[in-house]
Structure 1
C-alpha cells in the first residue's frame, strides 16, 4: 500500500465516520432541476435559478441545524451557487461544520432489452467531473439506482440488478480514487402493491449483488456509506406493516447482507411521511447495538414542512427554518432511539 493511497484511505474513513457521527445525519438537497420544479410548483413558487438558490439558502443558514446535520448532498447547480453575501455554498456549509456532497449520476434511463426496468447512467466522464467537484469543495458523492417491483412481470430481473450493481461499483471505485466518499444508493421503490415480505426478498437480492460488485471492483468498505430503502410494503399493498415490523425486517435484512466494515447506513425516506420515517429510524436504533451506525439521508422528510411554510414568502423564512430545525432535531434524536411523539407535539422545545 503506497503512501498516497493510505492518505486517501484515511481521508475517506474520516469523512465517512464524520457523516454518521452520533446524533447526526444528512440532508439530501440534490433535487434535479425537474424535481425541484415540482416541489416549488406544489407551493405556488416559480422555479428559477434565484428561487432555487434562495430556498436552499434558507435551509443552509438555519441556526443550529449543524447540531443534527453532518452533511448536505447538493445538485450541480447548487454546488456552484452562493449566499446573498456571496459566500459559495460549500464554504458556507463548511463554516458551520457541515460537509458538502454532490449528486453525480445522470438519472435512471430505460434498460436496453428490458424497457420496463431502469439503469442509472452517468459514468462517462465521471472521473473528470469528480476531480472538478473535489476542487469545488465536495467531499462525498451520491449515485442512485432505482429497482422497481412487479411480481406479475418478474421484476426486478437479475439483469436489472446486475446492471445497476455494476454501475454503482464503478461509480464507488472512481469516487474513492478521487478521494471522495461514495454514498451507494440502491433504492427498491415502494410504489407497487407488493407485501413487506416481497420487499425484503428483493432488497436482499439487491444488496447481495451490490456488495459482490463492490468487492469485485476493489472498493474499500470502510470508506463508503450505504443509502438503502427501508423494508416496507408497497403503497398499494393490501396490508401495511406496523412500524416495529418494518424496523425488524429492515435490520434483519441489513445484518444478513451489509459488511460490518461499512461505517454507516443512511436511510432514504422513500415517500414516507415525515414522522413515520423518523419513527422507523428510532425503532431500528432501539433494536441495537448494530455493527454500523443507522442514520438518515432524507430529502422530503426533512424539507417538506419548511418548503410549505416558506412558499416564497420572505416574511416566513425564519418560520421555515424553525420547521426544518424541528425535523432535523427529531431525526437527530431518532439516531439514538430517543425520539418520542411528545417531541412532535412540542415543536418549540
Structure 2
C-alpha cells in the first residue's frame, strides 16, 4: 500500500507540474497578505475592508480569457475561503476555468534573532496539517517566500542557510502532501547595491537552496523555482539593458539550477509591468530552446498594479480593470515565447 501511495503521489505531483508549465502560460500571484493588500488599497484610495478585498479578487479571477495566459493562481488563506457574489467558491471558479489553484503558506518574515537587519520567514509550525487542509480544499501547489536583503555586511551566511533550510523543509512537506512546491528565494531590489553584487548574492543563495533541497530528498522534477532576476538595487542609479539583465540572469541560473528542475517562474519584485515583461522577453529570446528548464512568470504587482489604479474600488471601472489584467497577462505570455514588443503596449 505504501508503494502504491508513493506512486500515486509522484503521478499527481507530475501532473500538476506539467499543467503549471503548459502552453507558455504563467502564474498569477494573488497571494498578498491582508496587511499588504490593505496598504495597496490605501495608496489607491480604496477603503480597507474584507468585502473590498473579496470584490477585487473576484474581479481578477473572473477576468474573461484569463486562462489563455494563466496556468495557475496563487491564493492567500483569506482568499481560498472566499466566494463570489453568487456564493460560488473562488476555488471552484478557478478550477472551472481550467486554471490550477495554489496557496501561499508562509506567514511572513520576522527579524532574524541575533542578526541585525536580516529576516527569516516563519510558518513551519503546524505546516503539515495546514497543507493537508489546503489540499482537501482543492489546492494543488503551494508557495513559500524567503526575503534576502543586501546591505553593508549582509546577507550573512547564517541568514542564507536558515532561509534555505526553511524553504527545503517546506518543500518536503508539500511533496509529502502531493502539493507542488514553488520555492521562492528572493534577493530583494531594496538598496543601492550593484548588479554585480546581486549576482554574487543570488548565486550563493541559489546554490545553498539546492544544497538544502538535496538534503531534504526533494524530487526536483516536481518543483518550480521562483527567483529574482539579476538587477541592481533600486537606489543604485545603475542602468542596464533588458538584454544585459537577461544575460546575467541566465548565466547565474546555469551555474546554480540543476537541469532536473522543470521550470523557473520569475518574480517581479517591484519592477514596473513593462520592465518585467521586457526582461522576461529578452531571456526567452536569448535562450530559445537551449535551456533545460522553461522560463515563465509568477508576477503579482506587475500584473495588478495598473488594474488596481483603474478600478479604484468602483464597480463602474470593473470591466476596464479586467481588460487591463487581460492585456498584461497576454503581454507576459508573449514574453514567454520571446514575442513581446513595445507595439503590444499601444492601446489604440
Q: Which whole-Å CA distance do the structure 2 matches of 1:211 and 1:5 have between them?
A: 23
Larger mean Cα displacement after TM superposition, 76-85 or 234-243: 234-243
Aligned match of 1:335 = 336
The count of corresponding residues between Structure 1 and Structure 2 is 345
Aligned match of 2:62 = 61
- TM-score normalised to structure 1 length: 0.97
Q: Which whole-Å CA distance do the structure 2 matches of 1:248 and 1:311 have between them?
A: 38
Q: Which whole-Å CA distance do the structure 1 matches of 2:69 and 2:168 have between them?
A: 29
Is it true that 1:253 corresponds to 2:263 in the alignment?
no
| Cα distance per residue 1:91-124 (max 9 Å; x no partner) | 1000000111101001111111113111101000
Q: Which whole-Å CA distance do the structure 2 matches of 1:272 and 1:35 have between them?
A: 17
Measured after TM superposition, the shift of residue 22 of structure 1 is 2.5
Aligned match of 1:173 = 172
Q: Which whole-Å CA distance do the structure 1 matches of 2:123 and 2:20 have between them?
A: 24
Q: Which whole-Å CA distance do the structure 2 matches of 1:329 and 1:24 have between them?
A: 9
| Cα distance per residue 1:196-240 (max 9 Å; x no partner) | 111001000000000000000001001100000000000011312
| Cα distance per residue 1:124-164 (max 9 Å; x no partner) | 000000000011111100000000011x3x11110000000
Measured after TM superposition, the shift of residue 263 of structure 1 is 1.1
Measured after TM superposition, the shift of residue 306 of structure 1 is 1.1
Q: Which whole-Å CA distance do the structure 1 matches of 2:46 and 2:76 have between them?
A: 19
Q: How does 1:1-349 map to 2 (within 5 A)?
A: 2-150=3-151, 152=152, 154-288=153-287, 289=289, 290-345=291-346, 347=347
Larger mean Cα displacement after TM superposition, 11-20 or 225-234: 11-20
SS at match of 1:265: strand
Structure 1 gaps, min length 5: none
Q: Which whole-Å CA distance do the structure 1 matches of 2:15 and 2:294 have between them?
A: 14
SS at match of 1:184: strand
| Cα distance per residue 1:272-327 (max 9 Å; x no partner) | 00000000000100111211010000001001111111111101101110000000
Larger mean Cα displacement after TM superposition, 11-20 or 64-73: 11-20
Q: Quick check: 1:90–1:100 contact (8 Å CA) kept in 2?
A: yes
After TM superposition, what 4+ stretches of structure 1 lie above 3 angstroms from structure 2? Answer: none
Larger mean Cα displacement after TM superposition, 263-272 or 12-21: 12-21
Q: Which whole-Å CA distance do the structure 2 matches of 1:110 and 1:43 have between them?
A: 29
Q: Which whole-Å CA distance do the structure 2 matches of 1:285 and 1:3 have between them?
A: 39
Measured after TM superposition, the shift of residue 36 of structure 1 is 0.1
Q: Quick check: 1:26–1:73 contact (8 Å CA) kept in 2?
A: yes
RMSD: 1.0
